[in-house]
Amino acid sequence: MVNVDSLVGRNSLHRKVQRSLRIQKLRALGLIAPLFIFILISFVIPIGDMLFRSIENQLVSEVLPRTTEYLKSEQINEGWEPPDELFWHLYIDLAIATEVKLHTRVGSRLNYEKTGISSLFRKTGRSIKKFGADDYSKALSEQMPELASIDYWELLSQGTSEKYGYTRDTYNTWKKNLIANDHWSEKTKPSDFLFVVLANDIKSQEIDSSLDASREEKLLPVISELPEIGFKERFLDTDEDWAEPDVWDTIQLYSPSFTNGYYLNSVDFKKGSDGPKIRPENERLYVLIFSRTLFMSVTITLVCLLLGYPVAYFLANLPLKYANLFLILVLLPFWTSLLVRTSAWKVLLQNEGVINDILVATGLISNLERLELINNQTGTIIAMSHILLPFMILPLFSVMKTIHPSYVRAAKSLGATPWTAFRRVYFPQSIPGIGAGSILVFILSIGYYITPELVGGTTGTFISNRIAYHISSSLNWGLGAALGSILLAVVLALYWVYDRMVGIDNVKLG
Amino acid sequence: MNDKDNGFVVFSGVQKSYDGKILVVKDLNLSIAKGEFLTMLGPSGSGKTTCLLMLAGFETATQGEILLDGKPINNIPPHKREIGMVFQNYALFPHMTVAENLTFPLQVRSMSKSDQEKKVNHVLDMVQMSEFGNRRPGQLSGGQQQRIALARALVFEPELVLMDEPLGALDKQLREHMQFEIKHLHERLGVTVVYVTHDQTEALTMSDRVAVFNDGIIQQLDAPDKLYEAPDNSFVAQFIGENNTLEGTIESFEGDYVNVRLDNDQVISALAVNVREVGEKTLISIRPERVETEAERCPENAQKIIGEVLEFIYMGDVFRTRIRVGNNDEFIVKSRNSPSQQRLQPGQMVTLGCLNKDCRALDHQITSKEVLS
Ligand SMILES: Nc1ncnc2c1ncn2[C@@H]1O[C@H](COP(=O)(O)OP(=O)(O)OP(=O)(O)O)[C@@H](O)[C@H]1O
Ligand SMILES: [Mg+2]
């Protein structure tokens, strides 16, 4: 029989234990919290931000809301012609954007996808003031002076009448933009184009008996006397490119808030209205650089392994006091700046450099056939192998140190020649070190920047150099982020393959 | 040495120094017969492993010659010496299974696959580990690893097997069990075994002969019973088994015996083993079980030693009595727990009896360094 009392007792005991465990867990969590926050701030958030930027594309639809909305339902192809109404929307969008210079940003954004758009937007931004809106504002304000004051427009924007929906909407966007960009003040005057919008709203609808009727009766005669502005002609006068379906196609393709365009660009594809297309031969770039990055990283890893293994073996079999001395020598390069070491390679490797001079002086090569050792892949591979070598030697050394000499002795006593003993007994036990060193060198080199930048010329640069270019020169952060994300994915994929083939528990970092 | 010709393994005048200053092995002369089980016994750092490594070919002798089956092997590389070796840490290859470990020596000898399998199975049977062929060494217990190491050293049928403290890492019970297994294997296979240990019981129970090492020289090379009952010098007497020492000065020689005056002015007669002249200091060695606490239980010709009981320890089958004799507070007497054996009280004065042939007058702990200089 189960005693009810004891059952209750046990239950409360269980609860007590649970509570004390929970407190312990919380305390443990509290202890790691600083580290956790640090990792969050320094890794998770930047990587998340990078992934976000690589697909984010809100600028176009934010700055050109009416245009992109209208384009949504358009089928743009070779023979397509932009309709008048589209230019009306574009006029309002750009008029608002130019006041806070946003049009140049959209221009540069779209310029990444189609060259020429940037200058098109700048040009248009400069001339949009001269489209004739000033006539409207002058005439309307003369007829109705209160229109020149921002207060009247405030009142208008608070109204509810359906009729002035477009005006209200435009005014609010305009105001919001000015406020967001610190251009709004007490003294702000209503912009000229607002009068055009207002006139359009009044003109296009019946006069009814509403509260606004008096205003409409007052203004309508003036408005009907004013010349109609032909927006399409104005835009085309400014720049004929506005008639190009390609321009509109680009705007349409990049209207959504999120885009895969950056990724397509990263793999040499082009986003098109009928699906992604591979770029023509002469525009392809990134796949080549990605494969070059991979190839050079693998080469550097192999070179480091070939050079580092004997050194590590030598160090591991040295008495401790000498081993420490030599280890310091291995680490010595870390005491000088990376920049200095790389520059030293420039001195050594250049055409008139030390190595070529020696080769010529010893007669191994003639003066005319000096070796091209720098500003190409050879230069990058030589300099980076040198710089990353310690990262191969250290894990190898620490693993080899743990291989007791009695294993090789045992193999020899069992009849194995020194070579067999090495191959079948020593080498397999050093594999964790090879694994650790290789993965370290490979991952470091695949993302390396400074050295290839300095000694790589044009053929010896890595994808990271392109990323840096997009971040700091072309300012195409989205593309930089997409390239970075792909690099991250490649590294993770390789890590996965590596885990499958070698097993990650076969890696010993010390 | 005259057995240099018939020894299977012969060390002749071997010296070894690692750093060129200190001789770790000093003038080693040793001849091991075929099929013999010889143990090198000695405290830590006495040069046992070094001797073994020189024999196996992993260290070279600084001077002297090592002969195997009559041929000098100084210039033969280790893998051609055909010597099986069991290492202190077993040195089983961690990345190979047990079976692969055992196949390794057969593979490097290019033996046919079927022969390899036959031999491996046979040797696994021999150490009773047949089911463990597919395990990795890391998945075996210490004793099991030990057996595999043993099997691996035997699988290619060497005539000489070296073992460096193979049981050092095992607990006492397993160690005793394995001692017997190794001993039986040795008897069955007839291989020559050179065994290194610093555990004297192990040396005594297993070996045909024991070489006691200290400070790089062999202190005594003898059969276990000789070593225990007739130690040549104080070191051996102290090192092997339990030993009582009485310090004294030599009064006179009497044939094979000497008369020694102890600190408390008692004079006792002892077998002259390692003494030279009258007036010399000496240490008399007496085994605790060769002393009687009751004079009437002693043989007629026993001599008497007077002492004071300090402690009586009851150990079941035996009694241990600690007695002060002269200024030695640690004189131990071991007596069998027989019905007539009396239990002594601390503070009591006793007259101890022992035969004078069980008292051995040895050197006065002059260390071997002094002997050489
Ligand atoms: N490779 C070496 N280099 C220098 N000195 C060494 C080397 N190997 C051993 N020695 C020294 O030689 C002496 C004898 O060492 P050895 O290993 O032969 O002792 P051992 O009798 O086997 O001791 P243990 O019972 O502790 O194993 C020690 O003083 C040791 O410090
Ligand atoms: Mg040793």
What is the model's pLDDT at position A315?
Answer: 94
Instruction: Identify whether the C-beta of residue B264 lies closer than 8 Å to the C-beta of residue B325.
Output: yes
Q: Domain B9-229 falls in which CATH fold?
A: Rossmann fold (3.40.50)
Mean pLDDT across A87-102:
93
Burial of A420 (0-12, 13-18, 19+ CB in 10 A): middle
Mean pLDDT across B100-105:
95
Please check the confidence at residue A219 and state whether its pLDDT lies above 60: yes
What is the model's pLDDT at position B370?
Answer: 39
Instruction: Identify whether the C-beta of residue B247 lies closer than 8 Å to the C-beta of residue B283.
Output: yes
Mean pLDDT across A4-10:
58
Q: How far apart are CA A293 and CA A404, in angstroms?
A: 38
Mutate to test the interface with A, among B49, B50, B58, B79 (most CBs of A within 10 A): B79
Domain boundaries, chain B: 9-229, 234-372
Under an 8 A CB cutoff, do A417 and B79 touch? yes
Distance in Å, CA B103 to ligand 1 centroid: 31
Give the type of residue at A182: D
Instruction: Identify whether the C-beta of residue B348 lies closer than 8 Å to the C-beta of residue B295.
Output: no
ipTM greater than cut 0.90: no
Q: Phi-psi category of A346—alpha, beta or left, where left has phi over 0 and alpha has psi -120 to 50? A: alpha
Under an 8 A CB cutoff, do A407 and B104 touch? no
φ, ψ of residue A364 to 5 degrees: the values are -70, -35
Q: Determine which helix (DSSP H) or strand (DSSP E) holds B178, and give its type and residue range.
A: helix B172-189
Under an 8 A CB cutoff, do B58 and A412 touch? yes
Please check the confidence at residue A296 and state whether its pLDDT lies above 90: yes
Under an 8 A CB cutoff, do B104 and A416 touch? yes
Q: Which residue has the tokens 């894990």?
A: A395
What DSSP state is assigned to residue B292?
B
pLDDT category of residue B158 using cuts at 50, 70 and 90 = very high
Q: How far apart are CA B42 and CA A255, in angstroms?
A: 88
Using only C-alpha atoms, what is the Rg of chain B? 25
Under an 8 A CB cutoff, do B91 and A410 touch? yes
Beta strands B303-314 and B349-354, pairing class? antiparallel
What is the model's pLDDT at position A334?
Answer: 84
Q: What is the largest CA-CA distance in chain B?
A: 77
Mean pLDDT across B108-127:
92
Mean pLDDT across A337-357:
90
Q: Report residue A477 as tokens.
A: 């952060």
Under an 8 A CB cutoff, do A415 and B56 touch? no
Nearest to B156 among A412, A415, A417 (CB): A415
Q: Report residue A114 as tokens.
A: 């189609």
Nearest to A414 among B58, B89, B108 (CB): B108
Q: Report residue A255 as tokens.
A: 């209207």
Instruction: Identify the bridge partners of residue B163 per DSSP, sorted by sequence position.
Output: B86, B195
What is the model's pLDDT at position B369?
Answer: 39
What DSSP state is assigned to residue A186?
T
Please check the confidence at residue B371 and state whether its pLDDT lies above 60: no
What DSSP state is assigned to residue A478?
H
Q: How far apart are CA B75 and CA B61, in angstroms?
A: 11
Å between A412 CA and nearest CA of chain B: 5
What is the model's pLDDT at position A6?
Answer: 57
What is the model's pLDDT at position A401?
Answer: 92
Mutate which of B21, B39, B41, B48 for ligand 1 pocket (most atoms within 8 A of beta carbon): B48
Indicate the SS3 state at residue B304. Answer: strand
Set of chain B residues whose Cβ sits within 8 Å of the Cβ of A429: 93-95
Q: Say how many C-beta atoms besides its own lie within 10 A of residue B141's C-beta.
A: 10
Q: How far apart are CA A55 and CA B87, in angstroms?
A: 63
Give the type of residue at B200: Q
What DSSP state is assigned to residue A43?
I
The answer to whether the CB of B47 is under 6 A from ligand 1 is yes
Beta strands B209-214 and B257-262, pairing class? unpaired
The answer to whether the CB of B46 is under 6 A from ligand 1 is yes
Question: Is the pTM here over 0.90, yes or no?
Answer: no
Distance in Å, CA B48 to ligand 1 centroid: 8
Under an 8 A CB cutoff, do A424 and B104 touch? yes
Number of the ligand 1 atom closest to the C-alpha atom of B43 = 25
Å between B269 CA and nearest CA of chain A: 52
- SS3 letters across A226-289: CCCCCHHHHHHHHCHHHHCHHHHHHHHHCCCCECCHHHHHHCCEECCCCCCEECCHHHCCHHHH
CB burial readout B246-270, b (16+ within 10 A) else e: bbbbbeeeeeebbbbebeeebebbb
pLDDT category of residue B373 using cuts at 50, 70 and 90 = very low
- For A36-189, strand residue ranges (E) read none
Q: Report residue B134 as tokens.
A: 């597919």
Nearest to A415 among B93, B95, B105 (CB): B105
CATH architecture of B234-372: Beta Barrel (2.40)
Stated length of chain B: 373
The answer to whether the CB of B58 is under 6 A from ligand 1 is no
Instruction: Identify whether the C-beta of residue A117 lies closer than 8 Å to the C-beta of residue A247.
Output: yes
Indicate the SS3 state at residue B362. Answer: strand
pLDDT in tens, B210-227: 999 998 889 999 999 999
Distance in Å, CA B44 to ligand 1 centroid: 8
Q: Which residue has the tokens 């929970």?
A: A22
Indicate the SS3 state at residue B98. Answer: helix
Nearest Cα to Cα of residue B149 among B113, B199, B185: B185
Mutate to test the interface with B, among A317, A414, A431, A502 (most CBs of B within 10 A): A414
Across A145-159, A344-358, A377-391, B128-142, least confident range: A145-159
Q: Which residue of A has its CA nearest to B89?
A: A406
Q: How far apart are CA B40 and CA B164, in angstroms?
A: 9
- For chain B, strand residue ranges (E) read 9-17, 23-32, 37-41, 63-68, 71-72, 83-86, 160-164, 192-197, 209-214, 217-222, 244-254, 257-262, 267-272, 281-286, 303-314, 318-325, 328-336, 349-354, 360-362
What is the model's pLDDT at position A183?
Answer: 87
What is the model's pLDDT at position A207?
Answer: 61
Instruction: Identify whether the C-beta of residue A435 lies closer than 8 Å to the C-beta of residue A371.
Output: no
Q: Report residue A46 as tokens.
A: 């930047």
Under an 8 A CB cutoff, do A404 and B91 touch? yes
The chain-wide mean pLDDT, for chain A, equals: 89
Q: How far apart are CA A125 and CA B310, in angstroms?
A: 114
Set of chain B residues whose Cβ sits within 8 Å of the Cβ of A415: 79-80, 82, 105, 108-109, 156
Please check the confidence at residue A195 and state whether its pLDDT lies above 80: yes
What is the model's pLDDT at position A104?
Answer: 94
Please check the confidence at residue A418 and state whether its pLDDT lies above 90: yes
What is the model's pLDDT at position B1?
Answer: 41
Please check the confidence at residue A380 and state whether its pLDDT lies above 90: yes
pLDDT category of residue A212 using cuts at 50, 70 and 90 = low
Set of chain B residues whose Cβ sits within 8 Å of the Cβ of A416: 79, 104-105, 108
